[in-house]
Structure 1
Amino acid sequence: MFDFDMLGLAPTLNTALSRAGFAQPTPIQAQAIPLAMEGHDIMGLAQTGTGKTLAFGLPLVDHLLGEPGKPAPKTAKALILAPTRELANQIAESLRTLTDGTRLRVATVVGGQSLGRQISLLSRGTDILVATPGRLIDLMERGAVDLGQVRHLVLDEADQMLDLGVIHALRKIAPRLGTPRQTMLFSATMSKQMEELSRAYLTTPRRVQVSPPGKAADKVTQSVHFLDKAEKPGRLREILSRDEAALTLVFARTKHGAEKLMKGLVADGFNAASIHGNKSQGQRDRAIKAFRSGAINTLVATDVAARGIDIPGVTYVINYDLPDVPDNYVHRIGRTARAGREGEAIAFCAPDEADLLRQIQKLMKIEVPVARGNSPLAEGDDAAGGRRNGARRHRGKPAGGAGGAPKPAKRRRPRRPQAA
Structure 2
Amino acid sequence: MDLFVINRYRDSDEEVNTVDQETKHLEKLKQKIEERKKTITLSKSSESDVNTINEHNTVESIATNEKSIEDIKKHDPEPISELSKVPKPKKQVKEKISHEFKVLGNNEFEKKARVSRVLPHWLSNPNGISTDLQNLDCLVEGQHWLHSTLKATLLNEGVTHLFPVQKQVIPFIIKEHKAPYPFQPHDVCVSAPTGSGKTLSFILMDEIGCEVKALVVLPVQELAAQVAKVFKKYCSKTTLKVALLGGSTPLHQEQQNIVRHTESSGWVSEVDIIVCTAGRLVEHLQSTEGFSLKHLKFLVIDEADRIMDNIQNDWLYHVERNIKLGTELMTGRVSNLNWFNLNEQKTAPHKLLFSATLSQDPEKLEQWGLFQPKLFSAAPLHDNDDEDQIRLYATPAELSEQMVACEAENKPLVLYHFLVDQKWDKVLCFTNAAESAHRLAVLLNAWGRDQFKVADLSSALDRPTREAVLRKFTQSEINVGIDVPDCNYVVSYDPPRNIKTYIHRIGRTGRAGRVGQAVTMLLPNQIHLFKELLKSGGKSDVPAIEIKPEILNGLYDSYEYAMRETKNVIQSEINSKVQKSVELKRRYKSNKQK
| Same fold? TM cut 0.5 | yes
Change (3 A) 1:170 1:142: same
The one-letter code of the counterpart of 1:334 is G
Look up the SS of the partner of 2:172 in the other structure: helix
Between 1:256-265 and 1:41-50, the stretch displaced more is: 256-265
Contact 2:138–2:163 under 8 Å retained in 1: no
Contact 1:250–1:299 under 8 Å retained in 2: yes
Q: Report 1 or 2 for greater relative contact order, CA contacts < 8 Å, sequence distance ≥ 6.
A: 1
1:342 aligns with one of 509, 515, 519: 515
Sequence identity (%): 29
CA distance in 2, matches of 1:11, 1:117: 34
1:216 aligns with one of 384, 395, 408: 395
1:278-318 Cα distance to aligned partner (Å, 9 max, x none): 222222222111111111111102xxx5xxx3x4xx22100
1:176-212 Cα distance to aligned partner (Å, 9 max, x none): 2365211111111233446632663321122212333
Matches within 5 A, 1:52-71: 52-59=198-205, 62=206, 65-68=207-210
Structure 1 residue 244: Cα displacement: 4.4
1:241 aligns with one of 420, 432, 438: 420
Contact 2:414–2:552 under 8 Å retained in 1: no
Matches within 5 A, 1:337-416: 337-351=510-524, 353-354=526-527, 356-362=529-535, 363-372=537-546, 400=548, 403=549, 405=551
1:83 aligns with one of 199, 214, 219: 219
1:84-106 Cα distance to aligned partner (Å, 9 max, x none): 22221121121112101212111
1:128 aligns with one of 273, 298, 301: 273
2:464 aligns with one of 282, 291, 311: 282
Contact 2:217–2:277 under 8 Å retained in 1: yes
Larger helix percent: 2
Contact 2:304–2:358 under 8 Å retained in 1: no
Between 1:138-147 and 1:8-17, the stretch displaced more is: 138-147
Change (3 A) 1:237 1:283: same
1:134-181 Cα distance to aligned partner (Å, 9 max, x none): 122222232253223322100111112234444943343343236521
Q: Which residue of 1 aligns with 2:76?
A: none
CA distance in 2, matches of 1:272, 1:285: 15
The answer to whether structure 1 residue 162 and structure 2 residue 308 are counterparts is yes
The answer to whether structure 1 residue 37 and structure 2 residue 174 are counterparts is yes
Contact 1:185–1:198 under 8 Å retained in 2: no
Q: Which residue of 2 aligns with 1:147?
A: 293
CA distance in 1, matches of 2:221, 2:526: 29
Look up the SS of the partner of 1:405 in the other structure: helix
1:333-355 Cα distance to aligned partner (Å, 9 max, x none): 11111111111111111245446
Structure 1 residue 369: Cα displacement: 0.8
1:233-290 Cα distance to aligned partner (Å, 9 max, x none): 2221221113546111111111222222222222322411122112222222221111
Q: Which residue of 1 aligns with 2:323?
A: 177
Look up the SS of the partner of 1:259 in the other structure: helix
Look up the SS of the partner of 1:50 in the other structure: coil
Contact 1:323–1:356 under 8 Å retained in 2: no
Between 1:332-341 and 1:279-288, the stretch displaced more is: 279-288
Unaligned runs of 5+ in 1: 72-76, 373-398, 409-420
Unaligned runs of 5+ in 2: 1-136, 177-184, 261-269, 325-346, 381-391, 555-594
Look up the SS of the partner of 2:488 in the other structure: strand
Q: Which consecutive segments of 4 or more residues in structure 1 shift more than 6 A?
A: none
CA distance in 1, matches of 2:174, 2:366: 19
CA distance in 1, matches of 2:439, 2:309: 26
Look up the SS of the partner of 1:324 in the other structure: coil
Q: Which residue of 1 aligns with 2:411?
A: 232
CA distance in 1, matches of 2:303, 2:322: 21
TM score, norm. by length of structure 2: 0.57
The answer to whether structure 1 residue 21 and structure 2 residue 158 are counterparts is yes
1:98-125 Cα distance to aligned partner (Å, 9 max, x none): 1012121111111354333322222353
Look up the SS of the partner of 2:272 in the other structure: strand
Contact 2:434–2:460 under 8 Å retained in 1: yes
Between 1:330-339 and 1:114-123, the stretch displaced more is: 114-123
CA distance in 2, matches of 1:97, 1:168: 31
Change (3 A) 1:163 1:353: farther
CA distance in 2, matches of 1:404, 1:163: 46
Change (3 A) 1:340 1:168: same
CA RMSD, 1 decimal: 2.5
TM score, norm. by length of structure 1: 0.79
